Amino acid sequence: MKRVKDVIVIGLDGAMLSFVKKFVSEGELPTFESLISEGVIAESVPCPPCDTPTNWTTIATGATTAVHGVTSFYLHFPGEPLELGLKLRHRGQLAEFCKAEYIWEVADRYKIRTLVVNYPAGWTSKLKRGDMIVGSWSMPNVPPKVLVNSYTYSTLPIKKEKPIELVGKVKEVEGLKSFSPIMKVRVKVEENKTLISPILLDLYVSDSKGEGYDSVILIRNDKKYIIKCSEWSDWIPITLNTKYGKLKGLFKIRVLELSKDGKLIRVEFSRIINVDGWARPNELGEELVRRAGLPEGFFEEVGKDYVIYGKEYPYLVGMAREARGLVRVISYLKRTRGWRMCYLHYHIFDAANHRFLKFSYRGSPFYDEVKAEKANEGMKLAYKIADEFLKSLLDKCTSNDTLVIVVSDHGAVPSWSVVSIRKALVDAGLLAYKWDEELNKYRVDWSRTRAFPYYEPAYIWINLKGRDPSGIVSPSEYEEVREEVIRALYNIKDEESGVCPVELAVRKEEDPYVGNREKIAETIGDVIYYLRPGYQLYDGIIEGLDSEFMSLDEFKKGYTWRAERVFGAHAYYQPTTRVEEFTVNGILIVKGPEIVKGEEIKDPIKLIDIVPTISHLLNIPPPKDCEGKLLEEILK
């Protein structure tokens, strides 16, 4: 058996097999084509809820939702106020809330150096010889990389330029020679949503040759930064007072214009890049900024913005820049730290799916040929960007001894109608709201609420006495209320089609995916429901996921209405859901030592089976909570 030297797991959020096959057949994806010919390809089955935090956790642990307990974007722990979890989006991505062991923790014990980049799970795992880096994907309590945007400052400001204050002439500055009197000027960096107090920076303007003013000097911590015209300075350190506490930043300055008489001074400040709090070990952040030559795209937070209505192509251009930044980071750390296991995440396809799928499906009421062609071009561009990303990454970071795994957490199906689970529960007398004069909207009335809905995950929690702080349902009524909830869900009707949007509603212990076992994670709701394809709960407004509140508009609407922003979904369906070529299933491509070549596995594999297969090929034990099995069908 040829030994696997290292492994790279390339996570492509939302990638689907049907699109890969389509664009490969058109000759548009040479890197995907090469991977498929040299390895195996299959669909991959996610764990419900079929979404991002849940299944990237599964891909890193080999555990199902019932074990790891990461239930979509919003976790609720019994004993907390029912609405609290809806205020803490993304906390399931933190290692402290995952109940299963990650494979990189096992690798760390076996002295295998690991790297985890831009990954929506496991922050921050305790690794002795591993590195973790937060990229564009949001992570709770992690400060942004960009603290202050780039600005131009001038003594004669025009358009969006900011003013430079002339403080006056000074007789001398230690260690600074000037044939003309040194001028002291001041730049004010104003507070913003992160910076809680302004910064005043004093600059000195000198005449170093006796031919007129020609350079600008900034003195920080007794170090002089001499800035010439059109040349960027070295990185300059600065400590900032932010809402996250004291943070160290780095920035550069260049002189755009400097008149010989010193009356016109125009300088450009780069963005102030935060180097604290987004890498582990913490000092790695500054190393990456100073030495890795990161492009601007690495510092942009484009990946988290997966509702791209009206800004589709700027989003994809941003994702291309992000890809270059990811390659730069990962290849730099391959050269300098020699990682042997890398898990990374790239969130390009999910946003494209949410935007384009309804226009790609002939059965959609919105379908027309012109929009379908535009949607196809948008999807093709996304896959071509990813193809270039894969090529660059594989060229710089892999060898013939590398196990390469390209995987997605889920696919998506077209959707075009929004469902109000809240309204159904209100009309059934299970959920109540009252007008809040202060907030000018309806707020949940816990004294009359027996059942409380979450949307991501699609769970209903019973407001139970003795468990929930505002509980009104006695334990003796618990089963009866759960049955009422299930009836209310099945009684929802789409007025246009007459169809019930709810495909399945069950008690958690009877759920076909997480039920029928001795122990189920406490974060799983009392009732689980799944929608039929075509229906969704989210239409691009994040506040709409918070059931503590209900808008007057939602009260007035029927149970369903047409979506306006989001037209493809995945989180609300059973993992078996399929609409023609579209499916909730993701993709798996594997290439490397001991992997069969040029085969398509006809039966979808389970995401829980990836971790034990990696463990086998690296000759380490699987994580202790792993539920998957070895993928023998992909091995020679």
Q: Position of tokens 């070895």?
A: 630
Query: What string of DSSP letters covers 403-470?
Result: EEEEE-S--BEEEEEEE-HHHHHHHTTS--EEEETTTTEEEE-GGG-SEEE-SSS-EEEE-BTTTSTT
Residue 420 has pLDDT above 60, yes or no: yes
How does the average pLDDT of the chain come out, rounded? 94
DSSP state of 482: H
Is residue 385 within 8 Å of residue 323, measured between CB atoms?
Answer: yes
Alpha-carbon span 96 to 49, nearest angstrom: 20
Q: Position of tokens 């384009």?
A: 356
Question: How high is the pLDDT of residue 303?
Answer: 44
Is residue 566 within 8 Å of residue 536, measured between CB atoms?
Answer: yes
State the pLDDT confidence band at 54, using cuts at 50, 70 and 90: very high
DSSP reduced 3-state for 312: helix
Q: What is the pLDDT of residues 423-434, one digit of tens each?
A: 999 999 999 999
| Residue of 470, 473, 466, 490 lying closest to 430 (CA atoms) | 473
Torsions phi, psi for 302 (to 5 deg):
-90, -30
Q: Is the dihedral of CA 8, 12, 16, 20 positive or negative?
A: negative
Query: Omega of the bond prior to 457 within 30 degrees of 0, cis?
Result: yes
**Partners of 453 in the beta sheet?**
460
State the pLDDT confidence band at 447, using cuts at 50, 70 and 90: very high
Alpha-carbon span 590 to 421, nearest angstrom: 40
Is residue 531 within 8 Å of residue 419, measured between CB atoms?
Answer: yes
Residue 306 has pLDDT above 80, yes or no: no
CA distances for 413 relative to 12, 352, 439, 570, 587, angstroms:
17, 12, 36, 6, 14
- Locate 614 and state its tokens: 């990696």
Alpha-carbon span 380 to 123, nearest angstrom: 32
Question: How high is the pLDDT of residue 301?
Answer: 62
Q: What is the pLDDT of residues 579-620, one digit of tens each?
A: 999 999 999 999 999 999 999 999 999 999 999 999 999 999
Residue percentage of the chain with pLDDT more than 90 = 86
Residue 205 has pLDDT above 80, yes or no: yes
Write the burial class of residue 593 (CB in 10 Å: 0-12 exposed, 13-18 middle, 19+ buried). Answer: middle
Of residues 2 and 375, more confidence is placed in 375
State the pLDDT confidence band at 308, using cuts at 50, 70 and 90: low
DSSP reduced 3-state for 616: helix
DSSP state of 292: S
Residue 371 has pLDDT above 50, yes or no: yes
- Helices in 200-311 by DSSP H: which ranges? 283-291
Question: How high is the pLDDT of residue 506?
Answer: 98
Is residue 71 within 8 Å of residue 455, measured between CB atoms?
Answer: no
Mean pLDDT along residues 400-406: 97
Residue 408 has pLDDT above 70, yes or no: yes
Q: Position of tokens 């069908």?
A: 633
Alpha-carbon span 35 to 598, nearest angstrom: 9
Alpha-carbon span 286 to 330, nearest angstrom: 15
Mean pLDDT along residues 413-440: 96
Is residue 181 within 8 Å of residue 212, measured between CB atoms?
Answer: no
| Residue of 443, 468, 602 lying closest to 79 (CA atoms) | 468
Alpha-carbon span 542 to 533, nearest angstrom: 21
- Full-model pTM: 0.95
227: left (phi over 0), alpha (psi -120 to 50) or beta: beta
**Partners of 220 in the beta sheet?**
223
Q: Position of tokens 């042997």?
A: 340
Alpha-carbon span 44 to 34, nearest angstrom: 20
Residue 171 has pLDDT above 90, yes or no: no
From first CA to last CA, the distance across the chain in angstroms is 9
Question: How high is the pLDDT of residue 566?
Answer: 83
Question: How high is the pLDDT of residue 397?
Answer: 98
Q: Position of tokens 């070529």?
A: 581
Alpha-carbon span 358 to 85, nearest angstrom: 31
Mean pLDDT along residues 145-157: 95
Q: What is the pLDDT of residues 520-568, one digit of tens each?
A: 999 999 999 999 999 999 998 889 999 999 999 999 999 999 998 888 9
Residue 220 has pLDDT above 60, yes or no: yes
Is residue 512 within 8 Å of residue 576, measured between CB atoms?
Answer: no
Q: Which of 393-407, 498-512, 540-554 has the lowest mean pLDDT?
A: 540-554
| Residue of 185, 205, 267 lying closest to 232 (CA atoms) | 267
Q: What is the pLDDT of residues 272-295, one digit of tens each?
A: 999 999 999 999 999 999 998 876
Alpha-carbon span 183 to 613, nearest angstrom: 67
CA distances for 198 relative to 220, 242, 248, 274, angstroms:
17, 10, 15, 16
Question: How high is the pLDDT of residue 352?
Answer: 87
Residue 339 has pLDDT above 70, yes or no: yes
Mean pLDDT along residues 507-517: 96
Residue percentage of the chain with pLDDT more than 70 = 97
Q: Which of 91-95, 213-217, 356-360 has the lowest mean pLDDT?
A: 356-360
Of residues 301 and 181, more confidence is placed in 181
Is residue 463 within 8 Å of residue 475, measured between CB atoms?
Answer: no
Mean pLDDT along residues 128-136: 94
Q: Which of 64-73, 468-477, 533-542, 615-624 has the lowest mean pLDDT?
A: 533-542
